[in-house]
Amino acid sequence: MTGYTADIAGNVTPGDQAKRLWKHTTVRRHVHSALGKTLAAMAPGLDRCMYCGDSQGTDIDHFEPMSRAPLRTFDWNNHLLACSLCNSHTKRDLFPVDAAGRPLLIDPSTEDPALHLHLVLAAGEYIALTPRGEATRKVFDLNRGVLVRGRRNVYRITRLCLEDWYAAYEEGDEAALREWTSTILEQPTAEVVYAMFHQAVAPGARDIFAGDPGTLKLLRNPEVRVGLLTGL
């Protein structure tokens, strides 16, 4: 894809050329298809959006927009799988930066969002821990109603599924183990499962899981952590 980048760099209006090439039929047929399949394999759950985690990833998003960085249009490290809502309606060409010009949005393919955003499991809402977390929460509207409800549902469902997963593990039922593993890891908003495991070993875990010591015990169980965290 270096040839495309060179073509963009040599054009009088690189931004316009970048958009023309990205939409070109040949690029759509040969580049978009292969790129989309690779990104889908990296995405959480079942080909979920790398930003909201709720909807299916249908679009290839340029993390740094083409309008801002046309020379990164064909840069593999600048591509993320996104749903049409996050890509075309919330993010669009928004790309906030700090005073030094560094990106404020979190790149979920290279960074741990938990360093910038804390998920309140019972409420299903994100609290920003850093300016970058706040910028990401705001741009992607991460606390919109449908996402909050979805996260609460996943939290409730996962607590029940963990018991069935461990029962299958103790019984040595490989088929059931595979089914419960996929049920847990392939849910929408799969970041809830990651947050549960992360917060179970964090300070204040007993308060977070107050009233549900059984779930906390399972989340701390070495067999459960090895069996499920390796799939996240």
The CB density around residue 131, as the number of other CB atoms within 10 Å, is: 12
pLDDT for 45 = 85
pLDDT at 1 over 70: no
Question: Among residues 95, 113, 137, which one ends one of the domains?
Answer: 95
The Cα–Cα gap between 117 and 112 comes to 9
Q: What is the pTM of this model?
A: 0.90
**Does any domain span residue 206?**
yes
In a domain, 20, yes or no: yes
Question: Can you give the pLDDT at residue 104?
Answer: 98
The pLDDT tens digits for 53-63 are: 999 999 999 99
| Shared-domain flag, residues 165 and 80 | no
Residue-wise pLDDT for 81-107, tens only, equals 999 999 999 999 999 999 999 999 999
Q: Are both 89 and 8 inside the same structural domain?
A: yes
Average pLDDT of the segment spanning 9-24: 94
Q: Please name the residue ranges forming H helices in the chain.
A: 2-9, 14-23, 25-27, 33-42, 84, 131-139, 145-171, 174-185, 191-200, 205-208, 213-220, 222-229
CB-based burial of residue 84 (10 Å sphere; 0-12 exposed, 13-18 middle, 19+ buried)? middle
Give the domain extent around 82. Answer: 2-95
Q: Can you give the pLDDT at residue 2?
A: 75
Contact present, 38 and 81 (Cβ < 8 Å): no
Q: Does residue 187 belong to any structural domain of this protein?
A: yes
Last residue of a domain, one of 65, 80, 95: 95
The structural domain count of the chain equals 2
**Share of residues in the chain with pLDDT > 90 (%):** 93
Which letter does DSSP use for residue 70 in this model?
A: G
Instruction: Specify whether 16 is located in the same domain as 83.
Output: yes
The arithmetic mean of pLDDT across residues 114-125, rounded, is 96
Q: Identify which of 157, 169, 139, 141 has the alpha carbon closest to the alpha carbon of residue 196.
A: 157
In this predicted structure, the answer to whether residue 231 has a pLDDT above a threshold of 90 is no
Q: Is residue 35 part of a domain?
A: yes
Q: Based on the fold, state whether residues 80 and 158 are members of the same structural domain.
A: no
pLDDT, tens digit, 9 for 90 and up, residues 151-208: 999 999 999 999 999 999 999 999 999 999 999 999 999 999 999 999 999 999 999 9
Which of 65, 95, 125 terminates a domain? The answer is 95
